[in-house]
Structure formats: structure tokens, C-alpha cells
Amino acid sequence: MFVPFALGYLLSYLYRVVNAVIAPDLSAEIGLTAADLGLLTSAYFLSFALFQLPLGILLDRFGPRRTEAGLLLFASLGAWMFATADDLLGLTAGRALIGLGVSGCLMAAFKAYVQWFPLGRLPLVNGLQMAAGGVGALTATAPVEAALQLTDWRGLFLALAVSTMLVALLIYTSVPDRESPQLRSGMADQFRGVAQVFGDRFFWSLAPWTVMSQATFLAIQGLWAGPWLRDVAGLDRATTAGHLAWIAAAMIAGFIVMGALTERLSRLGVQPVRVAATGMAVFMVLLGILIMGLIPSVLTVWLLFGFFGTTGILPYAILSQGFPSALAGRAITSLNLLVFLAAFASQWAIGALIDLWPRTAAGSFDPAGYRWAFTMMLGLQVAGMLWYLFSDWRE
């Protein structure tokens, strides 16, 4: 059961971050500005987010196997559309369809794990699932750069379309099912469950900080880390791809280590929410270091950024355990809705802010644009942290 879901999430993350490597090719061939690039890439997040509430209902009603296998067929079609597009509109439409198609890759796995694994093992199992996504992010860096020596970005996406269809078939034929009581309930009951989640006090104590932490990480790691390394750190294309690969490797380590650490500390009486809060605070400090330019080693700071950026995923396991099993799918997809709407807005807004400064003589984006854009994201995280610390909704 684990391997098919892991492969699905690997593809999901590969799609999510591959534009960080192919951005120069897209900009050169299609003629994209920073705002265009941000909008195109973030279309994945928008369609991903808008499908989260229907996804939660589908997961609770029909189960993770059928839901994810069906959705991945849309991702395969989106990859084909992206590969054959010749303008911004076509690329954006393909990218949005990919986002819709992979919108269930993580949540379907989390739902299945809630059904099949003991609750005490969920932080570790979820961490391993996230590590599979990290492998996808790693694949989208230096390996993609190497693949571009053999084909172009269009050939790459055609190969991804075929791979996605094969993973959909694997999930449908190999993952076990467990009948859900939601099959016997009506759609009105399903939507009442969504309303119950959004009316929960504990949900809203965690959501704002989690949302802004994850949105920042997704927006930067999924696109703007690559241009930052090129324009601010002054690295060439090959070195940038290598650094992105190391960041992805640090992310894999973060998912595994933080999941295992959370499980171990919970046995010693340390609440998982405290581990998550500490990690998200460290992540904010690292973003502040990038903003202020206090960087003794570019790679070291970005490695830590990749590692601690993963801690924003821990609240998913916390929330899935805080609701009845029948509501688990809708609880985590409700949080995911907010995360990916914020990621869409953040990735686009970062590009729009960067475009406020003219390009340098060499054609690069001005470092000042990155500094102000990252400051905006840090400020939003500070607001989320203060809400969590001073909210009387915490339990």
C-alpha cells in the first residue's frame, strides 16, 4: 500500500518544483516576465486548492484508491497539454490541470494511513510519505537538468504524462480498500462534516501559522529558490541545479527526522504541536537570515531552510488525530485548501513584487525585489505565530 502512494506523491512534488529548473527555458522560449512565471507556476496551487473540499468528500465517501487513481489521469492529460502548449494560456491551463490531478496524492495517502496504521505511528508514516515527495523534489533538480541535455522541456513533460498514467494504474490495481460508512450518507451530511471542521476551535488555533509557514516554503522552494540562487547568490545554472538538489535532500531528511522525532518525543510526554511550533519558528529565523544577507554559507542556510521547512506538515497528523476517523479526510483537506490558496497567492505575489524593480543589465531580477518579497512572507508568518501564541482557542 505504501509504495503506490509514495510514487504518486513523488510525481506530485516533481511537478510542483520542476519549474524552478526549467524557468530559464520557459522564459526564453515563451517570453515570460517574473509575474508571468509566478502566475504560471502557481496555477498548480490554485486548482490544487480549489479541489480540496470536494477531495475530502470523495476520500471519505469513495476511499483513497479510486479517488487518487482517477485524479492522476487528469494530471497525465495536463502534462501532455503543457508539453504541447505554445503560449502562456496553454501552459497555464496544462499546469492547472496537473494541479487538479495531483491534488489527492498526499491527502489520499494520509486518509489510507489513518485507516490502516495505528495512530501512534502516523507521524513517522506521514513523514516517510513526505520523504517520497522529497525524492520527487530531488528528481526535479539535477536529474531534470541532466535530462534536458537529452531532450527539451516538452519531451520531459511527455515522459511525465506516460509515467503518471502508469502510477494511476498501479494504485488502482494494488491498493486495498476499506469500506467507508460515508457511502451510506448523503451529500448534505458530507458538507455538514466540512462545516464542522471549519467551525472547530482547535482547527483555527493551528491553521493560520501552519498555512503561512507551508505557503512560504512551497512558494519559495517550488520556484523562487532557483532564481534567487542565480540572481542574488550569482550561481551558474549547473551549480544552481546542484544546490536545489541538496535542498531537496535536506527536505527528505527533514520529513523523516521530524516525523521520527515527533513520535519519540510524544512517548516522553512532549506534545507534537510543540515540536511543530518550534520547527516553524526556526524556519522563520532562517528566512530572516536570507533577507538580511547574513549568510556565511549559501548552501548551509538553504539546507537548513529545506530541513525546517518540513515542520509545517506536522499539524496535518495532529489534526487527523483530533477528529473522528470519518472526518479525517475533510479535516486535512480543509487545511490543505487554505495552504494551497495561500501558496498560489504567495508565489504569484512574490513574482509581482520582484517585477517592481527593473532587471539588471545582465537580464537578471533585482536582488532588492527578492528581499522585499521574502520580507512580506516573513511578516505573514509572524502574524500567524502571534495568533497561535495568544489565541484562547488552543486546547
> How many Å is the maximal CA-CA distance in the chain?
64
Cα separation, 355 vs 369, in Å, equals: 7
333, three cell numbers: 483537506
Give a yes or no: residue 182 inside a domain.
no
Handedness of CA 55, 60, 63, 64 (dihedral sign): positive
Q: Count the alpha carbons within 13 Å of 93 in the hemisphere toward its beta carbon.
A: 11
Give a yes or no: residue 183 inside a domain.
no
Give a yes or no: residue 122 inside a domain.
yes
Give a yes or no: residue 180 inside a domain.
no
Q: What is the pLDDT of residue 395?
A: 47
Number of domains the chain is built from: 1
Range of the domain at 336: 2-174+188-390
Record the pTM: 0.79
Cα separation, 116 vs 393, in Å, equals: 31
- In total, the chain counts a number of residues equal to 395
Q: What is the pLDDT of residue 114?
A: 77
Q: What is the pLDDT of residue 378?
A: 97
Give a yes or no: residue 181 inside a domain.
no
Give a yes or no: residue 179 inside a domain.
no
Q: What is the pLDDT of residue 206?
A: 86
Q: What is the pLDDT of residue 185?
A: 53
Write the DSSP assignment of 15-79 as a string of letters: HHHTHHHHHHHHHHHH---HHHHHHHHHHHHHHHHHTHHHHHHHHHHH-HHHHHHHHHHHHHHHH
Give a yes or no: residue 375 inside a domain.
yes
Element (H, E) at 186: none
Nearest alpha carbon to residue 91 among 52, 51, 164, 42? 42
Q: What is the pLDDT of residue 190?
A: 64
Q: What is the pLDDT along the chain (395 residues), one digit of tens a residue?
A: 889 999 999 999 999 989 888 888 888 888 888 888 888 888 998 998 888 878 877 887 788 899 999 999 999 999 999 999 989 999 999 999 999 999 999 888 878 887 777 766 776 777 788 788 889 988 988 899 889 899 999 999 999 999 999 999 999 998 887 655 544 455 566 677 778 888 888 888 888 999 999 999 999 988 899 899 999 999 988 899 899 999 989 988 988 888 788 878 888 888 888 999 999 999 999 999 999 988 878 999 999 999 999 998 888 878 767 777 667 667 777 888 899 899 989 998 999 999 999 888 777 889 999 999 999 999 999 999 999 988 765 44
CATH number at residue 28: 1.20.1250.20
